[in-house]
Amino acid sequence: MTTQDLVVQGFIPPLAMADFKLAAFDMDSTLINIECIDEIADAAGRKAEVAAITEAAMRGEITDFKDSLRRRLALLKGVPVTALDEVLQSRLQFNPGARELCAALKAAGIKLLLVSGGFTFFTRYVAAELGMDFVRSNELEIIDGLLTGGLVMQDWGDICDGEEKRRMMLQCAAEIGCEAKQCIAVGDGANDLLMMGAAGLSVAFHAKPRVREQAMVAINAGGLERLLSLIKAS
């Protein structure tokens, strides 16, 4: 299948859903319609500045994700926590097919992992709505109701970058007793490539060119549920 809006390479569909046990998802611009950090920056009047760094990082033009995130966070210092509420309530929407795909995978007994370079304020909501079994993301530091421009250290570290996404996917796979080849990884940006490369099935959703080129499935038009046309329940 080589139609421009749904590109498949490296296998002949359909695959059997029973062959997979874990699906790992990026959040921003994959499961949801926005890059949360860009929308928070809008509250500080710095959206263009932050969004430019986000775009370069997602395209792979900035190779150090941790550095790019720290640079963007520094621009958010002093933003009130109410800005997070505003983004969640009025800007965040699920991408087409996100709920349908996650529901179908869960119904087939596949565990779901949300692994994001974004923030727990948003991943908690998204994970609860979609029934995620595992979550890893960054915790914004908030003091006196204001963002400090920093992150809270967690037991695994402070920044969930591409390597941490890959590590978390493989850790969750080990926990449930599955191999990397039984994992599906879905993302859109350069920091998803490591986990996508380690998974048995890699899926690019409305992704950056470099990610589309390397993925086994590239959904370039339509919703996430299009993956279900390539993976069939037995």
- Per DSSP, the three-state class of 93 is coil
- DSSP letters spanning 68-90: HHHHHHHTTTT-BTHHHHHHHHH
Report the C-alpha gap between 202 and 167 in whole angstroms: 16
Please confirm, yes or no, whether 161 is among the known catalytic residues: no
Angstrom distance (rounded) from CA 5 to CA 98? 17
Among 26, 38, 42, 192, the one annotated catalytic: 26
Other Cβ atoms closer than 10 A to 77: 13
**Burial group, residue 218, by CB count within 10 angstroms (0-12, 13-18, 19+):** buried
Question: Is 26 annotated in the active site?
Answer: yes
Reduced to 3 states (helix: H, G, I; strand: E, B; else coil), residue 173 is helix
Q: Which of 5, 19, 28, 42 is labelled catalytic?
A: 28
Measuring CA to CA, how many Å separate 38 from each of 23, 30, 51, 80, 137?
26, 15, 5, 15, 16
Q: Is 161 helix (H, G, I), strand (E, B) or coil?
A: coil
Task: Please list the active-site residues.
Answer: 26, 28
